[in-house]
Structure 1
Amino acid sequence: MILYNMPLFMVLAFLLLTLGVGLYASQRATTLREYAVGNKQFHTTTLVVTVLATSFGGGTLMRNVPKVHNIGIYFIAMLFAIAVGFWIKSCLVLRMRPFMEHLSMAETIGSLYGKWFRAIAALLGICFSIGIVAIQINVISAAIGMCVDSIDPRIITVLATLILIAYAMFGGIRAITLTDILQFATFTIIIPLLIRLVFVKTGKSFLDIILLLQKQEKFQFRNLFHLDKKLLKLVVESLGLACWFNPSAVQRVYMSSGPIQAHKVFLRVTLFSVIILACIVLMGLLVFVGDLTLPVTEIWPYILADMPPVYKGCVVISLLGMAMATADSSLHTAAIMFSHDMVESIRGIQVVSYVHQLRLAKYTALITGLLAMIVTVYYPNLFQLSHFVFNALIICFEATIAAPFILAILGFRGSLPTALIGMAIGALTALILKKWPQIDIGIGVGFLAMVANGLAMMAAHYLLPQPADKGWVGRDDQQKRMEQLIRAFKKYKKNIDLE
C-alpha cells in the first residue's frame, strides 16, 4: 500500500520542500524595486538557471514530446528555433544599457512613448502572464492525474497552486529565484532517467532505432528542403519562436548587474537550451520507435504504463517543478506590471507610495493566480488551452508590443502617434491572418504582425512630421567600449584555445 501511494508521498514532500525553500528565502523587501529585481547582484549561474526554469515550463515537455512523435522533422527543426531566439536576445541585451534600471518591459516602452502606451503594454503583459500561469496549472493537474489515482488530482493541483502563489506573493524575486534553482535541478536529474526508461521500453538497440527512423518519411532531412508551403510555414513559425519575447525572461535582464552580465547569461542559456531541446526530441523519437501508431492523447499514458511507482513519482515532481518555476515567474511579472506600471501610469510617478505599491504587488500575485485557476476551468484540455493562449494572447502581445520594444533596444526613439499607428497595423495584420483560412502558420502570425508593426512605425516616422528629438540614436561611448571589450575577450579566449 505504501509503495502504491509512493507518487503521492513524493509529490507532497516536494511541495513541502518547495514551500520551505520559498519561505526561507523570503526577504523583507521594503521597496518595490527590492521586491522586483533584488539587489541586482545575482550570480551569473543563478540567472542562467532561473531563465531556463522560466522559459521551459512543464508544458514544454508535455506538449512537445507528442508533437515530435506526430509531426516529425518539421517540428524538430522548428523547436530548435527557441535556442536561436536566446542567441538573438544575447546580442540585443548589449544595447539595453539605457534601460537597465527599469523594472519591466512596459516601463522601458513607457519611457519612450508615454504613460498610456505603458499602461497598454502592462495590461497586455498581465493577460499574457495569466495565460502562461493557466497552462502551467493545467500541466500540474494533468501530471498528477496521470500518476496519482489514490486522491482527486484537483486537490493536489489547488495545493500546488496555492504554494507557488504563497512564496511568489511574500518572497519576491529572491524566493522565486531560489525555488527555480531547486525545481530546475529536479528536472535535470530526472529527465535522463525518464529517457532511459523510454529507451528500455522500446526493446531495441541504438543502431536498430537509427535504422528504423531512416525508413520513416516524416523524419527524413531531405523533406526540409522542398520548396513548398510546408517549408514556408516552417520558416515563418521558426522566426516566430526565435523572435518571441517572454516578459518573465526579459525581467531577468533587469535583474542583471549590467548588459555584459545579461549577455553572458543568454549565451549560456542558448547552449543549455540546445541540450534540453535535444532531450525532448530524443524522448519523442524513442516513443515513436516504441509505437509508431500512437495517437497524441495516448503518448504520455504509453510512457507511464508499467512504470514503477517511484519512477512515476519522479516524473510527476519533474513536471511539477518546471511548471511551478514558470508559473511563479509569470505571477511575479504580472504583479510588477500592475503595481508599478499600471498604477504609475494612472496616478503618476511622484504621488505613488512604495509601501502601497509593495502591498498591491503581493495582492496582484494572489489575484493573478486565482484568475489563472478560473481559466483552467473553462479550458481543461492542455492542448486546447495552449492553442488559445498561443494564438490569442501571445499573438496579440507580439503584434502590438514586441516591435516597439525591439526598436527601442536598437536605438529608435519614436513619437506616440508613430507607436499607435504601428500597434494598430500589427493588430489588424494578426486579425486578417487569423481569419484567412488558407493561412495556417500558428505562432508565425505573431511574427508577421510584429514585422508589419515595425514597418508601419518606420513608414509613419518618415512620412509624417516628427519632433526634432525623434529618430535613431547612435551608440554612446560606453556601449562602444563595452563591445570592444567583448571582442577583445573573444579574441583572447580564441588564442588560449589555440595554444
Structure 2
Amino acid sequence: MNYFNIDFLIVYAFLAITLIIGIRAGRGIKDIREYAIGNKMYGTLTLTLTFLATNIAGISIMDGASGVFFNGIVRIIPEIGVVIQILFFAFFITPKVLQFKAALTLGDVMGDLYGRVSKTIAGILGLFYSISMVSMELLGLGITIEALLGFQASWTIIIGGVFLALYSSYGGIKSVTITDVFQFLILIIVIPLLANIALKHVGGIKVVFASLPPTKLEIFNHENFSYYLTLFLLWSIFPVGITSPPIFQRLLMGRDAQQLRNQYFIVSVFHPTFQLLIMLIGLAGLVLYPTIKANNIIPHIIQQLLPAGGKGLAIAGLLAVIMSTADSYLNAAGLVFAHDIVKPVYDRNGLKIDELKCARYSTAIIGITAIVIALKSTSMLGLSFLAVKFTGPLLMFPLIAGIMGLKVDKQTFYTASLTTLGVFVFISWLLPIAYGHLGVPISILSNGITFFSMHVIKNKGFAIAKQLQSTIEVNMRWQLRSRSILAKLKQFLPTPTNLLAYSRNKVDMYGAPYVLFGVLLAINYILPYFAWTYEAPQTYNTLLMIRFIGAVLCGLLIVKEKWPRFLLPYLPTFWHLTVLYCLPFTNTLLFLNTQGSIECIANVAITTLFLIIVVDWMSFAILMSLGIYLVCVFFQYFFGKIELPLSFSLQYLLVYQFIFITLIGLLFVRRKPIKKTSASDRFAGTELGEQMEFAIQVTSRLVDHLFFYFKNTHQVWSNDRDGFIH
C-alpha cells in the first residue's frame, strides 16, 4: 500500500494543521476558568461553529446516511426533535442560564441548586457520558479509516486517541474551539460536495424519489416507527441534550443571553439543512448501490465516485466530524473529573490542588481510557445510548427546573433520583430486547413525575424563585411566590382577552400599515378578479363572495379614522384577522381550488414574503399555520376532498420556494421593533410616516427579492408547467 499518495498526503496535512493550531491556541493558559470556558472571549460566530462541530457527531453522519438507506425517510423524525430542542434552548434556557456566572461546568450549576453531593453526582454522570462519547467517536474513526484507506482500525483508534489527547489536554477549551472552527470549515465543504456528486450520478433529486421503493417512503406505518419516535421524544419533549457536558459548557461560554440566543437561532437553521444533505447522500446511495450494507454507504460512495484528491478531501471531512466531537467530549471529561469530582474531595479535607494541572493530566488519562474502551467495543450506537442512559433520566428535569427558577431542594432531587434508578432497573428487566430503547424515556418520565409531585406536595403548589433588584448596586435577593398551574396556563390559552392583549402588544411594538395594506389588497381583490379565467367555474360564486368579504375588511382598515371610539381598542385584533383572511387564507384557498396551478404556486411566494413584511415573525408563524389549517377545513366542508395532482417537480418547487423565501424573509426583510427617539423616528411613528415607511419597504425589498425569484424560475413557468427543465 502506498502511504504517500495524494489522498494520504491530504489526510496528513489535515492532521498536522489541526495539531499545530490546537497547540498554538492553547498557549498561555493561566487558570482553570480560562481552560474551561476561555474567559467568555469568543464571539457569536465562533461559538456557533464550535457548537455545530461538537453537536454533529460522527454517528450522526454514518447513522444518518445508513439510517435512510436501511429504513427510508422515517429517519427524519429524530432530527425534527433536535430542532425543537434547539429552539427550546434559544427561547427558555439562554435567558436563564447565565445567572450562574461563576459556573464552569454542569456540576457547578447542580451544586448551586442541590448542594455539594449533587455536584459530585453530576460530575460522575458527566464523566461517564463523556467517556462513552469519546469512545464512540474513536470507534467510528477506526471503522472509517479502515474502510477508506485500509489502515488497521485498532492502530487508527490508538493513534487518533493519542492525537486528540495531546492538544485537548494541553490547551483545554481554547485548543478545542479553534480546532473545531477549522474542522467545521472542512466539513461544510465536504458534505455538500459529496451530496452534489451522489445526486448527480443518480440524475437529480427527482430521480432519487421516483426510484425509491414504496416502503422507504413510509413513516407512521414503518416497522421501526416506535424506535425513531423514541429518539424524537428524547430530543424534543425530553431535551436530554442539556445534560451533555460539552453542550452545557458552550452555554456557559456565552457573554450574554442575546449572543446565546442568536447562536441557537443560527444552529436551528443550519442543523436540519446539514442533516437533509446527509439523508440525500443515503437515499442516492440506495438508488446507486441497493445491495451493499447500510453501514458502508458513505465509504462506498467515496470509494466509487470520487477521484484521487477528492477522496482524500472527503476523508478529511469525515475526520473533522469525528475529531471535533471527540475533542470536545474529551476536554469536558477531564474538566468534570478535576473540577466536579477531585476538587470537592480536596476542599472537604482542607487541601489545596493545582486544578489546571489536574485537569490536563485527567484529560490525558481519560483519553487513554477511551482508547481501551473503543478497542473493546463493536457498536457505535450502543455507546451512544450508553451515554444518555443514566445522565438524561437523573439530571434533565432537576437541571431544567432549577435553571427556569423553580424552588428546588436536595430531598426532592434525591428522592426523584432513587425512584428513577428503581424504575430503570425494573424496566430493563421487564422490557424485551426489541423494546429496550423505551427504557430511557420511561425513566425520564418517572423522574419528572416524582420530582414535580414531591415539589407540589412540599410547597402546596408550584413555587417559583424570582430574582428581584433591590438596590441600585444590583444586589439580588430571592423572593418566593406560588402560582397555580391553571393560572399559569391561562396566560397561554387563546382566550379573547389574551388575543386582544397579544394584538395590541405586537402592533405597539412593530406598528401596522393599516391604510396602505387596505388600499393595496382592496384593489387587488376587485380589479384583477374579473379578468381571470377559471378551471373550476362551479366555484366562481363562492370565490367571488370570499373576495368581496376580503375587500370589505380592507375597506374597514382604510376608514379606520372613522371608527367609533369604543371600537378602537379592537383595531389591532381586527388588523391581524384581516391579514389572516387576506393573505394565507384566501391565497391558500385559491391554490387548492386551481389544484396547484403554476400561477398560484408563484402566488404562494408573494404571499409568504408579503406576510413576513407586514407582521412580526411570531405573528407570521401563527397566522400562516392557522390560515392553512382553516382553509383545509373550509375546503373539505364546502368543496369536498382535497386533491392536488402535482408532479414531483411542482411539489419540489412549492416546498423549495416556501422554505427559502421564508428563511430569506425572516433573515432580511422581517418587520422589526419601532424605536421612537429622534424627530425622524417620531415622524415614522405617525400614520403618514408609517405608511411611507411601509411603501418604501415594500417597493425596495419586495421588488429585489421577487426579481431574483422570477429570474430563476422564469424558465420553469414559461416552458414546462409540469416539471423542471434540467
TM-score, length-scaled by structure 2:
0.62
Cα displacement (A) at 1:70: 0.7
Q: 2:371 is aligned with what amino acid?
A: M
1:244 is matched by which residue type in structure 2? V
Counterpart check, 1:412 vs 2:406: yes
Contact 1:165-1:369 within 8 A present in 2 as well: yes
Alignment of 1:189-208 (within 5 A): 189-202=189-202, 204-208=203-207
Q: Distance in 1 between matches of 2:230 and 2:176?
A: 34
For residues 80 and 368 of structure 1, the distance between their equivalents in structure 2, rounded to whole angstroms, comes to 33
Residues 14 and 97 of structure 1, relative CA distance in 2, 3 Å threshold:
closer
CA change 1:465–1:238 in 2 (3 A) is: closer
> Structure 1 residues 218, 112: CA separation in 2 closer, same or farther (over 3 Å shift)?
same
Contact 2:148 2:303 in 1 (8 A): no
- 1:225-244 residue pairs with structure 2 within 5 A? 233-242=227-236, 243-244=239-240
**Equivalent position SS for 1:457:** helix
Secondary structure of 2:420's match?
Answer: helix
Helix, strand or coil at the partner of 1:473? strand
Other-structure match for 1:99: 100
Contact 1:173 1:332 in 2 (8 A): yes
Q: Residue 64 of structure 2 aligns to which amino acid in structure 1?
A: N
Change (3 A) 1:59 1:391: closer
Question: Which amino acid counterpart does residue 256 of structure 1 have in structure 2?
Answer: G
Query: Could you tell me which residue of structure 2 aligns to residue 363 of structure 1?
Result: 361
Partner of 2:524: none
CA distance in 1, matches of 2:509, 2:66: 45
Report the alpha carbon displacement of residue 141 of structure 1 after superposing the two structures with TM: 1.1
Structure 1 CA distance for aligned equivalents of residues 100 and 434 of structure 2: 37
Q: Deviations over 1:173-228 (max 9, x none)?
A: 111111000001001111122112322443x3433223223x522314xx43x6x9
SS of residue paired to 2:363: helix
**Shift, 1:282, TM fit:** 0.9
**Alignment correspondent of 2:374:** 376
Contact 1:101 1:254 in 2 (8 A): no
Task: Give 1:337's aligned residue.
Answer: 336
Mark the CA change 1:440 to 1:268 in structure 2 (over 3 Å): closer, same or farther: farther
- What stretches of structure 2 of length at least 5 have no aligned partner? 477-504, 511-614, 618-668, 674-693, 698-726
Cα 1:273/1:444, change in 2 over 3 Å: farther
Q: 2:717 maps to which residue?
A: none
**Greater gyration radius:** 2
The 8 Å contact of residues 100 and 259 in structure 1, kept in 2 or not, is answered as no
Structure 1 residue 369: deviation in Å?
Answer: 0.6
Deviation at 1:317, TM superposition (A): 1.0
Q: Could you tell me whether the CA contact under 8 Å between 2:139 and 2:375 is conserved in 1? A: no
Alignment of 1:31-180 (within 5 A): 31-91=31-91, 92-149=93-150, 151-180=151-180
Alpha-carbon distance, 1:153 to partner: 4.7
Coordinate RMSD, CA, aligned: 3.0
Task: Note the C-alpha offset of 1:322.
Answer: 1.3
Aligned partner of 1:401 in structure 2 is 395
1:406-485 correspondence runs (5 A) = 406-438=400-432, 440=434, 445-464=439-458, 471-474=463-466, 476=468
Q: TM-score, normalised by structure 1?
A: 0.88
**Could you give the per-residue CA deviations for residues 67-112 of structure 1, whole angstroms, max 9, x where no partner exists?**
1111112222223322222111112221223223311111101111
SS at match of 1:257: coil
Question: Aligned equivalents of 2:425 and 2:455: distance in 1?
Answer: 24
Matched with 1:494 is 670
C-alpha distance in 2, partners of 1:444/1:88? Answer: 23
Distance of 1:263 and 1:465 partners within structure 2: 32
Gap regions ≥5 residues in structure 1: none
The superposition leaves residues 316-373 of structure 1 with CA deviations (integer Å, 9 ceiling, x where unpaired) of: 111111111111111111122111111333232895646x100000011101111100
154-163 vs 320-329, which moves further: 154-163
Q: Sort the Cα spacing of 1:309 and 1:3 in 2 relative to 1 into closer, same or farther, 3 A.
A: farther
Amino acid aligned to 1:38: G
1:12-39 CA distance string (max 9 Å, x none) = 1111110111111113222111111112
- 1:151-300 alignment to 2 at 5 Å? 151-202=151-202, 204-213=203-212, 216-220=214-218, 223-224=219-220, 233-242=227-236, 243-245=239-241, 246-300=244-298
Q: Which has the higher contact order (CA 8 A, sep 6+)?
A: 1
Aligned position for 2:683: none
Match in the other structure for 2:381: 386
2:196 partner SS: helix
1:66 Cα shift? 0.6
In structure 1, distance between residues paired with 2:343 and 2:454: 28
My pick for the range that moved more, 70-79 or 488-497, is: 488-497
User: What secondary structure does 1:309 align onto?
Assistant: coil
State the one-letter code of the partner of 1:421.
T
* 1:41-64 residue CA offsets vs partner (Å, 9 max, x unmatched): 211000000000011122211122
Q: Is the 8 A contact 2:343 2:355 kept in 1?
A: no
Residue type matched to 1:405 in 2?
L
Q: Which AA in structure 1 matches 2:186?
A: T
The number of residue pairs the alignment matches comes to: 480
